[in-house]
Structure 1
Amino acid sequence: MALCKIFPFAFILVSCSCYLISGQRFDYPTANLSTTWINSVSAPHSIDYTDGSRIRAILLRGTFGPRYACGFYCNGNCESYLFAIFIVQTNSASQITSPAIGFPQVVWSANRNNPVKINSTLQLTAEGDLVLRDADGTLAWSTNTAGKSVAGLSLTDEGNLALFDSKNATVWQSFDHPTDALVPGQKLVSGMKLTASVSRTNWTAGGLFALSAIDNGLVAFVESNPPQKYFEASVGGSNTSGGSNYVKYLNGSLTLFTHSADTTELILISITPASSAQYMKLESNGHLKVYEWTSRGWREVDDLLTGFRGECNYPTVCGRYGICTMGQCSCPTSSSSRTYFRPIDVRRPNLGCSEVTKLTCQNRKKHSLLEVEDVDYFAFKADISDTDLNTCKRACLEKCSCKAAFFRSGLNSSRTRGDCYLPTEIFSIMNNEKDKTRYDSVAFINVQV
């Protein structure tokens, strides 16, 4: 005979037999209609971690090892919580363990921009809607599935939270609403995207970076106006007419699945094969990193978007207007004694540079172009092709919204002809490593005299 505990869980009384039955499940991966969970300090399946995070699990799938769970999550002072899916460490009885190294890894959240407080509630209503309300009853988030024949809620082995009907068909699933992370088995249908958080500590979905599935691959970009692309992995010849292509996170790759007559699977990015639980996350700095569980905790195993140009190709590595040279940041300087840019913080050059005199359109006659030799821009695309240097410069001065003119020409071509890019917003600039790029480049930054 084994001793059992009786836990009150919100409005539900969970009981267990006092006899262990062979094959008995200890996890709790599903829930029925008319179930309510309260984010209370006394709720079961709660654990505090040494990194300052706290969880209160309401569903958990599997036993013994890193497993998916969902519930209330906080990180920091725990005045506010997310309803999230996270990976936690469990023992053979599905108890959450390892508070000192097995920190919960959030792979999806419902209310990034609308966190809730202690005593908030999550309810699977009798009508089939999954509703998150704050402690004062204010609606924070909902699946809006009332009246759609929902029969229950389930957290799958792949970490997908799904509402299902009486025939076990999916009515709503978290995989259709990605946030900033992907787990193995998850896919991004063309048009879906990951959106980075503002920072490591501010998980609001207001960050600059996004990773989007397109018909023939993946593209990462800064969400400026217009967007500026800093990475692309794509293939030619794929069928783009149906709009149903998708990128899937497989063990060892991000793979494009198409409906082309020639091929159906095309590897876009190779990933270190998983030997344990693994997931990837679009970080607030634009990096797409892969993390894996080890005996020493979670560790980074891949940084997927860092190409041959290294850290300097990331749009905010040196802030706005900062020039990145071998990972070091500096501000554009003039050959004269005039200073047009200064560091935002001299002790933290990676924060970027500010204009000494703000560029405005009120006095266009005082616009001038600051020439910066041998620099390049991550999002270069030809606004004017096969042109000359002076035409490129003149086009920027004639356009008030132009922040700089970037000119690329063939290596040692005397810049007689080349391509011209006229961005309306400037992020980090990079040193042009000609031995890698095999072209000459120069920038003319629009400044106010």
Structure 2
Amino acid sequence: MATTLHPVDRNYNFTLIKGLYLLPPQGEQLWSSGIRDGALVNGGLMDDNGNFMVLGSNSTLWESFKFPVDTILPTQILDKGMVVSAKQSETSFSIGRYILVFQCDGNLVSTTINLLSDHLNEPYYSTGTAAGVSSSPGVQFVFNESGYFLVSRENGEIYLLTQRITASAKDFYFRATIGFDGVFAHYLHPKSASNDSDAKWTSVWFVPDNIYSASLVSASSGVCGFSSICSLGGGGRPTFACPKGYTLINLNDEYSDCKPNSTLSCGDEPSGVPVEDLYDFEELINVDWPLADYALLEPFTENQCRNSCLHDCMCSVAIFRLGDKCWKKKLPLSNGRVDPGLNGGKALLKVRKDPYIPCQGNKNKREL
């Protein structure tokens, strides 16, 4: 339900009056189900599938399955335009950057959204079920009671996302969640377990296989925050890190943007001080920030690449690879990643040296 915009504490109450309302101990309502005025509410019901329904005299006035947050359950259906939104972090239930949306063209995609706006970036996962020359468009995304994900097409055909489910719905609970890191995963939990170690949710399927290699966006930071570096962790999940010389903007959020520890801009260097005394390079192998280039220099040697970036006040990193190519980049850096496919390519990250202290002469020198 839409309460991810306003996470609440345990003192709040759900009340069923002329609809479903979330009320604080004192003050005005925080959220309501938005049932039309004049509708007669007879009661509420949670069915065996986990769908909470507000019931009228002869119809369902509202149901939670139509308003998913970050998780869907078996028998739940996404119609065109419906969205599943990740939370902000493992501990914060505010809306995050990742969404799963069943688009109006019949395609199911995972993508990032530029928060405080409705702009969707290029998807990093897609079922490819939009209308095509030889295919019928999708009409619904279904999580069926057997634990399979499928897109039903307009012509009655189905597109299966999960090819084989070995666990039985008789013995396991199923759920699917888009994580705060953007990975959409299918989990199962035994209905009965002999010990505590077995009584846990286990991921059995996820997409995409490698989220940061699948994502390349032109108007956002990418999977990681600005100027950070993504690498692949367990279960297809990205891990995030700031490069040396950079720190998190929000120290309480390890997935936030990174900022340089010292200023890298034109006009801030002490006059008369050689840039060689002010800056050095941190060398990173198989690291890149695609789409942050503002200049490509070729043919260039590595030394020419270093010197060009060193003497260019706009250059924050230079990428040298393919033997003679030098890409210069400026802040903020986007789409950061570790990529073994770069075959030893070097990222030359310009960092400030320790504070420059000019020589003041020997004050202990005796005057003759």
- TM-score normalised per structure 2: 0.60
CA distance in 2, matches of 1:246, 1:123: 32
Counterparts in 2 of 1:184 and 1:258: CA distance versus 1, 3 Å: same
Partner of 1:266: 159
User: What do the CA deviations read for 1:128-178 (whole angstroms, capped 9, x no partner)?
Assistant: 32222211142121122143534433223322222333333x332222211
The answer to whether the Cα contact below 8 Å between 1:313 and 1:430 also exists between their aligned partners in 2 is: no
Counterparts in 2 of 1:313 and 1:130: CA distance versus 1, 3 Å: same
Percentage of matched positions with identical amino acids? 19
Please, which of 118, 126, 142 is the counterpart of residue 248 of structure 1?
A: 142
The answer to whether the Cα contact below 8 Å between 1:212 and 1:220 also exists between their aligned partners in 2 is: yes
> In the alignment, does 2:210 pair up with 1:305?
no
The answer to whether the Cα contact below 8 Å between 1:320 and 1:427 also exists between their aligned partners in 2 is: yes
Partner SS for 1:139: coil
> In the alignment, does 2:321 pair up with 1:321?
no
CA distance in 2, matches of 1:210, 1:406: 32
Counterparts in 2 of 1:235 and 1:404: CA distance versus 1, 3 Å: farther
Q: How does 1:391-430 map to 2 (within 5 A)?
A: 426=333, 429-430=336-337
Q: Which amino acid aligns with 1:324?
A: S
The answer to whether the Cα contact below 8 Å between 1:233 and 1:268 also exists between their aligned partners in 2 is: no
> In the alignment, does 2:289 pair up with 1:289?
no
Partner of 1:233: 126
Counterparts in 2 of 1:269 and 1:138: CA distance versus 1, 3 Å: same
User: What do the CA deviations read for 1:324-366 (whole angstroms, capped 9, x no partner)?
Assistant: 3778876557xxxxxx5467899x9987743133566999xx9
CA distance in 1, matches of 2:330, 2:64: 37
- TM-score normalised per structure 1: 0.51
Structure 2: gaps (5+ residues): 216-221, 269-274, 276-280, 299-304, 306-313, 354-368
Residue 118 of structure 1 deviates from its aligned partner by: 5.9
CA distance in 2, matches of 1:271, 1:376: 36
Where relative contact order (Cα < 8 A, 6+ residues apart) is larger, the structure is 2
Residue 311 of structure 1 deviates from its aligned partner by: 7.7
Please, which of 120, 124, 128 is the counterpart of residue 16 of structure 2?
A: 124
Deviates more, 1:187-196 or 1:213-222: 213-222
Partner of 1:38: none
The answer to whether the Cα contact below 8 Å between 2:228 and 2:240 also exists between their aligned partners in 1 is: no
> In the alignment, does 2:61 pair up with 1:171?
yes
> In the alignment, does 2:114 pair up with 1:212?
no
Partner of 1:356: 261
Q: CA RMSD, aligned part only?
A: 5.2
CA distance in 2, matches of 1:185, 1:137: 37
Counterparts in 2 of 1:425 and 1:355: CA distance versus 1, 3 Å: closer
Q: Which amino acid aligns with 1:134?
A: P
Partner of 1:114: 6
Residue 321 of structure 1 deviates from its aligned partner by: 1.9
Q: How does 1:143-222 map to 2 (within 5 A)?
A: 143-152=33-42, 153-168=44-59, 170-205=60-95, 207-214=96-103, 215-222=105-112
Report which of the two has the higher share of strand: 1
Q: Which amino acid aligns with 1:282?
A: I
Partner SS for 1:112: helix
CA distance in 2, matches of 1:216, 1:382: 32
Q: Which amino acid aligns with 1:256?
A: V
The answer to whether the Cα contact below 8 Å between 2:189 and 2:202 also exists between their aligned partners in 1 is: no
Q: Which amino acid aligns with 2:259?
A: S
CA distance in 2, matches of 1:426, 1:155: 47
Q: Which amino acid aligns with 1:257?
A: S
Counterparts in 2 of 1:236 and 1:343: CA distance versus 1, 3 Å: closer
Q: Which amino acid aligns with 2:151?
A: L
CA distance in 2, matches of 1:403, 1:269: 43
Partner SS for 1:175: helix
Structure 1: gaps (5+ residues): 1-108, 334-339, 394-399
CA distance in 1, matches of 2:34, 2:187: 33
CA distance in 1, matches of 2:163, 2:16: 39
Counterparts in 2 of 1:300 and 1:171: CA distance versus 1, 3 Å: same
CA distance in 1, matches of 2:297, 2:329: 13
Partner of 1:64: none
CA distance in 1, matches of 2:266, 2:178: 36
CA distance in 1, matches of 2:240, 2:5: 32
Counterparts in 2 of 1:258 and 1:148: CA distance versus 1, 3 Å: farther
CA distance in 2, matches of 1:171, 1:421: 57
Residue 228 of structure 1 deviates from its aligned partner by: 4.3
The answer to whether the Cα contact below 8 Å between 1:383 and 1:421 also exists between their aligned partners in 2 is: yes
CA distance in 2, matches of 1:161, 1:349: 35
